[in-house]
Amino acid sequence: MVVRTQGWWVRRVVKPAVFVLALWPLAWLVRGALAGDLGANPIEKITHWTGFTALTFVLLALCVTPLKVFLGLPALVHLRRMLGLYGFFYALLHFGVYWVDQTVFAGVGFSPRLVAEDVLERPYITVGFTAFLMLVPLAATSADRMVKRLGARRWRALHRLVYFAAAGGVLHYLWKGKMEEDWAVAYGLLLVGLLSWRLVAGRLRERARAVPARGVMGVVPAHPSPLEVGD
């Protein structure tokens, strides 16, 4: 009953609120652009802000599973897909702005060739692009019907890519980020924490499976994946 009420609150109140709040970085950029308030190099500002926001949402999506376990709020899971999709949305904007800056503003049309060359030539761009490519199948298979179509096991395996995408995003940030170096390091540490938690949780789950009667630290095997990325 408590879990059901919690689910109602998260789906009907928290989720719509987070949906609106997540548009704030975009609204901030649009307002700044319209007011001519984005500094001497607005494109650079937009690139940095969209990249930073994309990584923030990817990491937030990864925080959902540990938070729901630590806070005892399973309903938080209803936020994960939305946070991940916002990560993809801002990464798409980030890539779009970079593309327009590299090509249209350089007076060479949309030139995919120029972008491809840059992706191959500059290692930090290669890393960012790889992280972006990893987010694409995650966004494409985020719908419930895709879980059914792929099967839960394969879907979960695919969605573990999010850790690699986040690692690529952090590396790309550490390599070339300018906004605040402290943030890049903090995001790196957060990711290390999340990965460590994932490893420990995996071990505990294995042990819980091996001791079906007792379970380990409340991880009851009948509930196969309370600690997993894609549960």
Q: Give me the residues that bind ligand HEM (CB under 6 A), please.
A: 47-48, 51-52, 54-55, 58, 91, 94-95, 98, 125, 128-129, 131-132, 169, 172-173, 176-179
CA atoms of 204 and 155, how far apart (whole Å): 22
Closer CB to ligand HEM, residue 189 or residue 220? 189
Structure token pair of residue 84: 């991940």
Closer CB to ligand HEM, residue 17 or residue 186? 186
Phi, psi of 11 (to 5 degrees): -70, -40
Phi, psi of 226 (to 5 degrees): -65, -15
Closer CB to ligand HEM, residue 94 or residue 159? 94
CA atoms of 102 and 210, how far apart (whole Å): 55
Chain-centre distance of CA 33, in angstroms? Answer: 25
Q: Report in angstroms how near the CB of residue 8 gets to ligand HEM at its nearest.
A: 32
- Report the candidate in 94, 98, 90 with the shortest Cα–Cα distance to residue 23: 90
Closer CB to ligand HEM, residue 43 or residue 150? 43
Q: Report in angstroms how near the CB of residue 165 gets to ligand HEM at its nearest.
A: 6
Rg over CA atoms, the chain: 20
- Report the candidate in 84, 222, 89 with the shortest Cα–Cα distance to residue 158: 84
Q: Report in angstroms how near the CB of residue 182 gets to ligand HEM at its nearest.
A: 11
Q: Report in angstroms how near the CB of residue 29 gets to ligand HEM at its nearest.
A: 13
Q: Report in angstroms how near the CB of residue 90 gets to ligand HEM at its nearest.
A: 8
Closer CB to ligand HEM, residue 89 or residue 129? 129
